Every structure is written in C-alpha cells, then in structure tokens.
Structure 1
Amino acid sequence: MRQLQIEIESIQVSIFCEIVLDVLKKHRSLSINKVLVFAYLIKKERFIPKSVYNGNNTQDIIYKSLSLLSGDYLEFCNSVEFIIKAIHILKTSGDITVENDLLFVMDNMYISNNIFKETTFLEKAIEYSKNMNERQFMKEVTDNV
C-alpha cells in the first residue's frame, strides 16, 4: 500500500512540474501564490470537458477564473502539497529560480508538447493577475474556495 502512495505522489508531482514549467515558459515570471492557484486550475480544466468561460471573456477575467475554485477547497488544499514539491524539485534542479516570492524560468529551457495546456481563458487570467497585488489576489482566492 505504501508503494502505491509513493507512485501516486510521484505522478502528481511530475504533472505539476510540467504545468509549472509550462506556465513559467509562457509568462516568464509569476508569484508563488499565483502559480499555486493557476497550476491547480490548469490541471482541473484537463478533466472538465466543457469550460464555462472561453478566451472571448475579457471583463472580470481574474474573478471568473478564481470562481472555478468554488466548492473545491479540499482538493485544492491536497494539490498545494504536490505543487510545492514540484516547485522545490524544479528549483533544486536549476530549471527555475525564486527571488522575492517570484518564480522565474531559466532561459535555456526547451519547448515541449505538454498534456496539460492552459486554455486561452486561463492564459489571459494569468496575464491580468500580474497587475493584481498578492494580498488582493489571495483574498479573492479565499473568497472563492
């Protein structure tokens, strides 16, 4: 049973390593808090066949994206552990750097085909979130979770 748990954790961490790297390759830098939230949303969207929002949405895009967390508190909390482990592995391996709570991807990263791609809607939400301060962003996260 213990071996099965280790295998499950390894798969979860590797999925989030891929997602975090993909997000940072596209957006160059993002705060740890925002990476936690958006990595979870990207993984979650992979299993939702039809999203409520699409790339045409432009108003209140951050609030709409965070509304996707509604009713998912326990699963989000469980995923945070794996996302943090993924960030640690990527930092230890030298793929990303951390400076003042911001994650940066190294310039020599290769482009790969990822299974967990962010939608146009989430891509826009991530870009808009860069203009929101951390306190306000986390307040919105807690309001929606």
Structure 2
Amino acid sequence: MNKNIYEMEIILLSTYCDIALDILKKHKNLSVNKVITFSYIIKKNKYMNSSIYNASNKNDLVLKCLSQLNGLFDDYCENIQYIIGAIHLLIENKKISEVLGELIYIETSEIVIVDNSFINNAIKESKKYSDKQFLKEVVRSV
C-alpha cells in the first residue's frame, strides 16, 4: 500500500478516536450503533462545514440529525471501518469500555465541557430510541 494511504488511515483513525471519546465524555454511555452514526455526522459537519441545523432546533432532533446522512451511503459505509477501528483502539487503551453493546466512558479527572449544540441535543434525545428503531431511522436516512 502507498505511504499516503497509510497516513490517511492514521489521520482518520485519530480523528474518529477524538470524536468518539468526546461523545462519550459528554454523554457517559451510548450504544455502539449510535456512536458510529454520530461520529460520522460530527466529522462530516466539523471538517466539511456542512451543518444545516443549529441549537435553536427543538423538535425531532434525531430525525433532523440523521437527515444529514441523505445521499452519503457509500461514504458512510467506507467510514464505518475507521470508526470501529477507533472504538477498538479506545477500548484496548482503556479509555472506554464496552458492556453489553454499550460503550462507557472511563472516568478520569478531566474537565468535560457540556455542549448544548444541535448534535449533542440530538444524541441526548437518541437515548430514548432503541437501537433497532435508531438503525431503522439511519437506514431511512441514507
């Protein structure tokens, strides 16, 4: 494999490690499926400046958030391997743990800044969804 491809994979893994860890620091625990989906959406919004909603949105936050996946099926599928790899690295390095399909942030003395952004509000609302219902909505969105 080309050196540039290795470097790109390292950058993607590092980016997803930061994003997944940040999600779990703020929300303490979340299912693997939700971490994968929200990590992709956060990366897309953060690095591609494509956010279409803001924190003033209050209704159907999860559905609005997932609507940002529309038309990105191939890219989403390609990124899943890197997100899973990042989660694996975080578990191996004991930054997070996995219990019955839930990823749990391992407490440290770090200060966590609570963010009331649109995506964080959507993540909070997603905790009301079962994993099955959440995945149905993801499939509808992509």
- Give 1:48 shift: 4.1
Classify 1:120/1:112 alpha carbon distance in 2 versus 1 (closer, same or farther; 3 Å).
closer
**5+ long unaligned stretches in structure 2:** none
Q: Confirm or deny: 8 A CA contact 2:44 2:50 kept in the other structure.
A: no
- Give 1:4 shift: 1.5
TM-score by length of 2: 0.93
Aligned-pair identity (%): 38
Classify 1:119/1:52 alpha carbon distance in 2 versus 1 (closer, same or farther; 3 Å).
farther
- Aligned length, in residue pairs: 141
Instruction: Identify the residue that residue 140 of structure 1 maps to in structure 2.
Output: 137
What are the Cα deviations for residues 50-75 of structure 1, in whole angstroms up to 9, with x where unaligned?
A: 63211011111110000000000011
What letter is aligned with 1:99? V
For 1:135 and 1:112, locate their aligned partners in 2 and report how far apart those are by CA, in whole Å: 30
Classify 1:83/1:119 alpha carbon distance in 2 versus 1 (closer, same or farther; 3 Å).
farther
What letter is aligned with 1:11? I
Matches within 5 A, 1:1-145: 2-49=2-49, 51-108=51-108, 110-111=110-111, 120-145=117-142
TM-score by length of 1: 0.91
For 1:76 and 1:111, locate their aligned partners in 2 and report how far apart those are by CA, in whole Å: 31
Q: Confirm or deny: 8 A CA contact 2:91 2:98 kept in the other structure.
A: yes
For 1:79 and 1:20, locate their aligned partners in 2 and report how far apart those are by CA, in whole Å: 13
